[in-house]
């Protein structure tokens, strides 16, 4: 039985091997040095095609209205799917019109969303966001963002309490149909395992570079399918490489616990 050191050594050798697909060899290279050109683009297109055929384009429950999606994503952070979906449903049932959230007590919001975890923090964020939007736009809505540039809309979203680039870009992509790439833990983990990037934590230090390296037309497909891949087989701790639609392409396949220490925090 192999030791952890032996498995990590194998993982390192496999990750350094050239990528092979359809009889072509692609150089691994340094991600971000030539975004959208050369072999890196072909590699991403191949992965995107395979994943889309296998998983389709799942919205993962994300909402079509930007304000709905923002609250949904805020509740989804660092918790499991069942809990945050329950919390969102309770929140929406109690406040069918978001406008009344601006005057709601944080303690009441907390009672409806605490199942998602970090209840008090999230209740305060939702209340503060609601008050801010009501003051800026006259109602609790993000509809005015549809008239803003992508850069302007992202800047506004990240100025809201508790909203980082990943959350902002999810809203932009799912609700406003902008060509951005949110880097969540599933995307970060699978991109590293596929050898497309070689970044360590924290994720926030690399969000812009990862987005730049992915051609705009591939961003939606890669994001939603990598999330599907991460949830389905490329788990944080125990991968199921035998079921992976990319098993013939992945340099890290079938190496249990193969991620090195600098990526270990992104496993969760």
Q: What is the pLDDT averaged over residues 5-20?
A: 37
Helix (H, G, I), strand (E, B) or coil at 37: coil
The answer to whether 214 touches 207, Cβ cutoff 8 Å, is no
**Crossing angle of helices 81-94 and 66-76, rounded to 10°:** 140
Backbone angles phi, psi at 33, to 5 degrees: -80, -30
Q: Is the pLDDT of residue 25 over 50?
A: no
CATH 1.10.340.30 in the chain: give the residue spans: 66-174
Q: Report pLDDT digits (tens) over 259-268.
A: 443 444 444 3
Nearest to 47 by CA among 217, 263, 194: 194
Q: What is the largest CA-CA distance in the chain?
A: 64
Q: Is the pTM of this model over 0.85?
A: no
CATH 1.10.1670.10 in the chain: give the residue spans: 4-59+182-267
CB atoms within 10 A of CB 237: 10
Nearest to 244 by CA among 41, 51, 60: 51
Residue 78: the pLDDT is 87
Q: What is the pLDDT averaged over residues 49-63?
A: 97
Chain-centre distance for alpha carbon 163: 14
What confidence category does residue 254 fall into, taking pLDDT thresholds of 50, 70 and 90? Answer: low
- Comparing 28-42, 73-87, 93-107, which segment has the lowest mean pLDDT? 28-42
Can you state the percent helix, strand and coil of the chain, rounding each to 5? 60, 0, 35
Q: What is the pLDDT averaged over residues 73-79?
A: 93
Higher-confidence position of 196 and 36: 196
What confidence category does residue 163 fall into, taking pLDDT thresholds of 50, 70 and 90? Answer: very high
Residue 171: the pLDDT is 98
Q: Report pLDDT digits (tens) over 177-189.
A: 999 999 999 999 9
Q: Is the pLDDT of residue 151 over 90?
A: yes
Report the alpha-carbon distance of residue 35 to residue 57 in Å, rounded. Answer: 24
Residue 181: the pLDDT is 98
pLDDT, mean over the chain: 85
Structure tokens at 226: 């990598």
Structure tokens at 116: 């998602």
Does CATH number 1.10.1670.10 belong to domain 4-59+182-267? yes
* CA angle, 176 then 153 then 209, to 5°: 90
Chain-centre distance for alpha carbon 223: 7
- Comparing 24-28, 30-34, 82-86, 88-92, which segment has the lowest mean pLDDT? 24-28
Residue 218: the pLDDT is 98
Q: Report pLDDT digits (tens) over 92-135.
A: 999 999 999 999 999 999 999 999 999 999 999 999 999 999 99
At the topology level of CATH, where does 66-174 sit?
Answer: Endonuclease III; domain 1 (1.10.340)
């Amino acid at each position: 039985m192999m030791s952890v050191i032996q498995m990590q050594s194998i993982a390192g050798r496999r990750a350094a091997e050239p990528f092979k697909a359809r009889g072509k060899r692609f150089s691994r290279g340094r991600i971000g040095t030539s975004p959208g050109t050369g072999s890196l683009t072909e590699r991403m297109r191949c992965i995107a095609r395979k994943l889309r055929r296998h998983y389709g384009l799942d919205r993962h429950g994300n909402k079509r209205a930007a304000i709905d999606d923002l609250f949904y994503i805020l509740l989804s952070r660092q918790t499991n799917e069942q809990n945050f979906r329950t919390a969102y449903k309770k929140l929406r049932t109690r406040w069918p019109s978001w406008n009344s959230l601006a005057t709601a007590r944080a303690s009441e919001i907390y009672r409806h969303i605490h199942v998602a975890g970090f209840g008090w923090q999230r209740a305060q964020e939702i209340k503060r966001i609601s008050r801010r939007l009501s003051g800026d736009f006259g109602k609790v809505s993000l509809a005015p963002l549809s008239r803003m540039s992508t850069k302007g809309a992202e800047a506004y979203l990240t100025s809201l309490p508790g909203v980082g680039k990943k959350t902002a870009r999810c809203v932009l992509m799912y609700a406003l149909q902008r060509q951005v790439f949110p880097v969540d833990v599933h995307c970060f983990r699978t991109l590293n395992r596929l050898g497309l990037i070689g970044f360590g934590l924290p994720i926030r230090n690399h969000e812009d570079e990862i987005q730049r390296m992915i051609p705009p037309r591939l961003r939606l497909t890669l994001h939603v399918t990598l999330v599907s891949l991460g949830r389905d087989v490329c788990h944080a701790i125990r991968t199921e490489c035998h079921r992976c639609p990319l098993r013939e392409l992945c340099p890290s396949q079938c190496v249990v616990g193969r991620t090195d220490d600098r990526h270990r925090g992104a496993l969760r």
